Amino acid sequence: MLIARAAAVLVTIALLLGAAADAPIGRLAPVQWRMAWSAPADDPKWAFKVTLSSASEQVLALADETQVRVLNARTGRSVRTLYPPGHPVTGVWVTSGTVFVLTGEVSDGEQRLQAYDAATGATLWQRTVALLSQERVPDTGRYFGPRIVVTERGVVLAERESEPLTLLSLDPRSGAAVARTVYERHCDLTAAGAHSLLLLDYCAGNRIRLSSVDPSTLRTEWSRTMPSPALRFPDPVKLGDPNGHTLTVSGDGYVEIGDAFYAPDGRRLPTPHETPRTGGSAGGGPWSEPLYLRSADPGISFLPTWPLPAFLTSLDLRTGRLHSLPLDVPSGAATLVGTAPGKAFVLLGTGRVAAYTLTYGIPTGRELFDGVPLDAWPDACGLLSAADLRPIADGYTPAPATPALFGERLPHPPQCDWIPPTDDAPVVSLAVEWVSSSSATARRIFATETADLKQSLAYDAATEGPYLLDYLGLTATGSSGAPEAVVSAGPVIVRLASTSRPALRLVAPLVRDELLARYRLARHTPAPLPRLRWSFPTDGHLMGAPTVNGDTVYAAGGGRVYAMDAATGRLWWSRAISDYVSGPMQFAGDLVYAEDPISLHALDARTGRPRWRYSSQDLVYHFLATRGRIILCAGSEIIALDAATGRRLWRFRTAGSCAGSRLVQAGGTVYMDDGAGTVHALDLATGRRRWSVRTGTDEAAGTWVTPVGKVVYVAGADRRIRALDAATGAERWSTRLGGALTSAPLAAGAAVYVRSADYKVHALDARTGRKRWTALTSVIDPALGLTVGQDHLYVVTATGIVSAFDTSTGVERWSTPMGGVIVVGPVAHKGVVYVSTQGGTVHALDEATGARKWRMLTGDAPESGSIIGNTLTYANGLIYTGGGGNVYALRP
């Protein structure tokens, strides 16, 4: 059994118990994997790869944190659901008609292993187990194998012991301990299993040893040694293996370690140096059960691979060659979770599990390409022309590339880089990712790929359609922000990449239309997004709200600052200033200001030309632009700069770090909390401290300051809200509330509103501090504020609910669930309340009733956290927001 971690939070596992497929007859050979069925997999986030087989009843087990679903592996139909005691479910295995379930976190010290009869669902036994929780056993070496290895002959546990490593074997049907052994060698060790337990150990400077162990007795059946290989390239994905190579075991017991292959009896098979590996289905002996799913060109693990499909790979038992055939699923959205002779189970990125069967036929030599003739692959350079790229720059030239697929070279270049005439224009790269045997297969691969991309990456919702998805891929550092697009029409799938998203927005539809014309399909224009006035694609994630100054919208994304016409979205200018630009930007006079982690940049608001730059030795946390001054918080200092020149005017050192402080300006005073429980009022012109007031403890979660006219309202860490005289800091009133305060005071009319951590929202008299009312809510999101509009106070909860309370009485007037975590809002304007939910959906609610008026997707990934760029700004009669790397202007 081979167990490999695929993702986090939920658990899924699959294991097929079944009879062998019919052997090929005459010239017949494996030619294709065909999907037999697919079923929902409850959106699992964990996957365990298991390769075991048996001649008994076929079953498939899928699990989330609380339950295990048992399916008929021949049909995909649900047989029963198991509800094991204890939580969460952290592992599931099936063998010999038994379903094994592990519950509890390994960090808790003890977990529960339970066994169920697969046919009846009856509990056979349960046992408390203490499993190894750390990779390193003191003075013994590192252990990288699974904590539980399930085989038909025994269940082997890596026990939690101080030293050395102890292995325990249990009888699968009774759970009784039948054998125990101590691993004495002081070497790195990994493990896998099928019918036997395979142990691979490596001592520095010594030879590698591969041993087969009887799972029921823990006695060695055979042992083989091989020279210690020199690592040609370190692969962080393979650091869990003693020698830097993967240990892979097929369901029928064939082993791959590095470049060596072994039969279940320990017999060494020919190596690739003796019989080169191929990807086709040439004649020869029978194949093993699938060893693994892989991409044709692994490349770097976090970058897209070429070509697009996953390839299911088996071993030719006569020649020792590896044979690969493509599946109708992208390699990035597939995990092999179970095998049997001639069958494989694959977990798809769409939250489904699929069963594939191996079909036989007369080989043609094109099986590696899904049976498609090689000359059917289009010339990548022929899908665009220099004329197509002329709106970007005149003089683009193609540079074709001819990569090989498992050694097979295509007659036409499948990849092409379009090189611009000057360095300031972007390169546009195009790759023919795959040509399927049918348009239906290509649509299925494209749909799976785009669904997977939209679950994890930001995308352009304004151009998305049935043939095109423009998105922000992964950069060379593994972060998101590389502009890419995937296009499919007919049987062809193409991927484009560039440093410029506006360039991709121009050329991707041209490639789409070229393919539609080639295959005589109708041209397609995506339907406009509701309420959309215009959108502009930046080259990366937006950082902060789009900022409006007069007739211009400014935004920061992908290390650049953009200036756009507020009415049309036309780009006035863009300027690259840093690898990372945070926002939002601010203005003073004819300058616009933006910050990176250690610097503040002043740009000409009309042209984008740099005027000055101030760099700090400490991190720049935030800044204010006001009255000819730039007030910034860096490290533990408040620094004032001349807005026109960047010259430093004064500085004020705080007791705590600026990371937890907030700057607020009103009149000629700057108010700030120092992150250590004290509020300071500083003279804007000189930096002189006018007064300081202690409001909490050094361990305080935070302090909020709201100046309004001659009064400064302070929500302190000591659970008090205070009204201070703006000129002197003298306390006008102070009111203690029940829980820690979790929002800035909101002054509206004659009242001040504030939230507290005990699930309450409070209204106080602004003049006296007397409590007007207190309302109980569900858990309030501490990251979001309060908003008043149309006699209602709007509150957002951590469970994704917008609630409206009567400002006079505190009575809840309405409550509307948004169906997801709210990350921005509420913003109230002219009878409408706006919020954004995780994944970049903007919602508009009626202020009076909470009824939904409309919603719009902006393209942020559902699995992303609170996207900073997904924010709302109202100006010029439009709502400006960001999502998926785009700036949107919406009609309110």
CA dist list (Å): 673 to 636, 658, 777: 12, 9, 28
Confidence of residue 812 (pLDDT cuts 50, 70, 90): very high
Which one has a higher pLDDT value, 1 or 518? 518
The two three-digit tokens of residue 106, written as one number: 């390994």
CB-based contacts of 224, cutoff 8 Å, min separation 6:
209, 210, 211, 262, 266, 268
Q: What's residue 374's pLDDT?
A: 92
CB-based contacts of 30, cutoff 8 Å, min separation 6:
24, 281, 287, 314, 323, 325, 358, 359, 360, 367
Residue 835 pLDDT exceeds 60: yes
Which one has a higher pLDDT value, 697 or 666? 666
What is the three-class DSSP state of 503? helix
Buried b or exposed e, range 643-664, using 16+ CB within 10 angstroms: beebeebbebebebbbeebbbb
Confidence of residue 242 (pLDDT cuts 50, 70, 90): very low
Main-chain dihedrals φ then ψ at residue 660, nearest 5 degrees: -105, 10
Fold of 375-527: Protein Transport Mog1p; Chain A (3.40.1000)
* Model pLDDT for residues 756-793, shown as the tens digit of each residue: 888 889 999 999 999 999 998 876 655 677 899 888 99
Residue 3 pLDDT exceeds 50: no
To which residue do tokens 């949107």 refer? 888
Residue 277 pLDDT exceeds 80: no
CATH of 12-26+35-280, one of 1.10.860, 2.60.40, 3.30.310, 2.130.10: 2.130.10
Q: How far, in whole angstroms, is CA 879 from its chain's centroid?
A: 28
User: What's the CA gap between 529 and 842, in Å, rounded?
Assistant: 12
Confidence of residue 572 (pLDDT cuts 50, 70, 90): very high
Q: Report the pLDDT averaged over residues 114-125.
A: 92
Peptide bond into 528 cis (omega under 30): no
The two three-digit tokens of residue 539, written as one number: 């080259």
CB-based contacts of 766, cutoff 8 Å, min separation 6:
708, 711, 723, 747, 749, 750, 751, 752
* Model pLDDT for residues 314-344, shown as the tens digit of each residue: 888 877 788 889 999 998 888 888 888 888 9
Q: Report the pLDDT averaged over residues 556-560.
A: 83
Q: Report the pLDDT averaged over residues 840-859.
A: 90
Sorted by where each begins, the domain ranges of the chain are 12-26+35-280, 375-527, 531-564+783-892, 616-776
Fold of 616-776: Methylamine Dehydrogenase; Chain H (2.130.10)
Q: Which of 361, 279, 356, 267 is nearest to 315 (CA)?
A: 279
User: What's the CA gap between 412 and 514, in Å, rounded?
Assistant: 17
Q: How many residues does the chain have?
A: 892
Percent of the chain with pLDDT over 70: 85
DSSP letter for each residue of 58-85: -EEEEE-SS-EEEEETTT--EEEEE--S
Q: What's residue 698's pLDDT?
A: 53
- DSSP structural state of residue 131: B
User: What's the CA gap between 620 and 222, in Å, rounded?
Assistant: 62
CA dist list (Å): 581 to 531, 556, 559, 577, 732: 29, 6, 5, 8, 41
What is the three-class DSSP state of 3? coil
- The H helix count followed by the E strand count for the chain is 2, 73
Q: What's residue 364's pLDDT?
A: 85
Q: What is the CATH number of domain 531-564+783-892?
A: 2.40.128.630
Residue 13 pLDDT exceeds 60: no
* Model pLDDT for residues 33-56, shown as the tens digit of each residue: 999 999 888 644 433 333 333 323
**How far from each other are the two terminal CA atoms of the chain, in whole angstroms?**
57
- Computed over every residue of the chain, the mean pLDDT equals 82
To which residue do tokens 């997977």 refer? 452
Is there a shared CATH topology between the 375-527 domain and the 616-776 domain?
A: no
Q: What's residue 765's pLDDT?
A: 95
Q: Which of 524, 331, 321 is nearest to 433 (CA)?
A: 331
177-183 vs 547-549, strand pairing mode: unpaired
